[in-house]
Structure 1
Amino acid sequence: MSRRPQLTGRAAVLAVVVCAIAMSLAYPVREFIAQRRQIAELQQQQAKELDALRKLRDRGRQLQDPDYTMRQARERLFYCEPNQKCFVVMDRGKAPAARKPGRAPKPKAPWYESLWKSVELADHGVSR
């Protein structure tokens, strides 16, 4: 019995051809996958931008509504129409600070005095 060689010439040529085809297809497949990924990212970005555009359009319609504009003027700028009584509550929910009668609050020293004191303390080597 004669043994046949394991790798014939035809098998070697077939292996080289298969490797060449695989190598020639690797780069286009990789580019295809990268482009699909980029398309998906661009679609997500487009969806976000369209959502932002929709919000801006809604805000534009809202700002053109005279009732909304008047409500904002009253709430944020304390606008009051003529012949209308308006009240502004200043300290919401806070109790006024209790002060003892007969004692005036201690006046704060001017800035230049505190500056001069800090220079004198630094001259003597004392830190605050």
Structure 2
Amino acid sequence: MTDGKSADRDTVALPRPRSGRGSAGPPRKAPRKPSRNRLTGRAGILALTLCAVMVTVAYPLRQYLAQRTQISNLKHQNQVTQQQVAALQTELNKWSDPAYVAIQARERLHYVRPGETGYIVPNLSAGSEPLGIPTPTQQAWFDRLWSTVKSPSATPSPSPTP
């Protein structure tokens, strides 16, 4: 290791500092301080291009997504309508049967066959007016009106309206 060749390899020649007075080269510029917001021209063009692409694509993408949503809603509405059509078709098939029509006429319209006696039993628990007939009031409307003309200071007693 005391070999002369290995000593030459281990030593590194360092450049000598130049002094500005006697040197023959151009004067050195002072090193620039790195700035924080240093933006190159390429980066600016790239940013501008990306913004332009985003603006160009934003509206059509929004329209595309809105149309997809509308198509989905219309498909759902179509399925619901198809189910309603199927239910109405089965109801129509029922009405083509004469026995079903006779049963519905008896239940809904209270039809009876010749020789039968029909009875209607009012459901008194459903309301105060049996069979949908309104109950008469104590005084007719024109009598109540005339009583207000005869004595305007007296207020007519409230009565149930038909």
TM-score where L is the length of structure 2: 0.56
Residue matched to 1:117? 147
Aligned partners of 2:106 and 2:112 also within 8 Å: yes
CA gap 1:87/1:17 in 2 versus in 1, 3 angstroms: same
How far apart, CA to CA, are the structure 1 residues paired with 2:45 and 2:92? 70
Superposed, 1:22-37 pairs within 5 Å as 22-37=54-69
How far apart, CA to CA, are the structure 2 residues paired with 1:2 and 1:63? 96
Instruction: Give unpaired runs (5+ residues) of structure 1.
Output: 95-107
Among the aligned pairs, what percent are the same residue? Answer: 32
How far apart, CA to CA, are the structure 1 residues paired with 2:142 and 2:46? 94
Instruction: Give unpaired runs (5+ residues) of structure 2.
Output: 1-30, 126-137, 157-162
Superposed, 1:29-108 pairs within 5 Å as 29-83=61-115, 85-92=116-123
CA gap 1:4/1:69 in 2 versus in 1, 3 angstroms: same
TM-score where L is the length of structure 1: 0.68
Q: How many residues align?
A: 112
- Larger RCO (CA within 8 A; separation ≥ 6): 2
Q: In the TM superposition, what whole-angstrom CA distance separates every residue of 1:2-24 from its partner, at most 9, and x where no partner exists? A: 56773111111112112211221
Q: Which amino acid aligns with 2:119?
A: V
Question: Which segment drifts farther, 111-120 or 45-54?
Answer: 111-120
CA gap 1:16/1:70 in 2 versus in 1, 3 angstroms: same
CA gap 1:16/1:64 in 2 versus in 1, 3 angstroms: same
